[in-house]
């Protein structure tokens, strides 16, 4: 079971901006994920929960609102998806995360 982010870091203007990243499932099992941000005031992440098919990928959108330049991070918790689950948010509550991926985020002036 492996999950990677491409690109592995995010740099956006402190005045606000967007960045798209691809989560890639390198394993043979369907994965479920949940994304947490160290700064929920200035960053919005879409989607927060989701599934990634075996050897598949999922795009995530990071949107930053205007604020002071600083360093933040996203932490993506993931696990094997429960069989026949269709609601990622509800299903994530029933799993124990098996790994994490961290995306450092920089807001530049």
The rounded percent of the chain whose pLDDT value lies above 90 is: 97
For the chain, how many structural domains are there in total? 1
User: Which tokens hold the place of 9?
Assistant: 């870091």
Give me the percent of the chain exceeding a pLDDT of 70: 100
Tell me what the mean pLDDT of segment 7-30 comes to.
96
**pLDDT for residue 1 is more than 90:** no
76: CATH: 2.60.40.10
Residue 55, by phi and psi: left (phi above 0), alpha (psi -120 to 50) or beta? Answer: left
Q: Is the pTM of this model over 0.75?
A: yes
* 80 within 8 A of 29, measured Cβ to Cβ: yes
Please compute the mean of the pLDDT values over residues 57-64 and round it to a whole number: 98
Residue 109's pLDDT is what?
85
Are the C-beta atoms of residues 107 and 14 closer than 8 Å to each other?
A: yes
Per-residue DSSP letter, 83 = T
Structural domain boundaries, residue 73: 3-107
What's the mean pLDDT in 54-71?
96
């Amino acid at each position: 079971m492996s999950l990677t982010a491409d690109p592995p870091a995010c740099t956006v203007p402190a005045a606000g901006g967007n960045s798209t990243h691809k989560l890639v499932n390198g394993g043979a099992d369907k994965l479920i994920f949940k994304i947490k941000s160290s700064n929920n005031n200035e960053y919005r992440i879409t989607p927060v929960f989701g599934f990634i098919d075996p050897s598949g990928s999922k795009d995530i959108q990071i949107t930053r609102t205007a604020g002071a330049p600083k360093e933040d991070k996203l932490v993506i918790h993931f696990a094997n998806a429960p069989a026949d689950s269709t609601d990622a948010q509800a299903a994530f509550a029933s799993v124990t995360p098996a790994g994490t991926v961290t995306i450092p985020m920089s807001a530049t002036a």
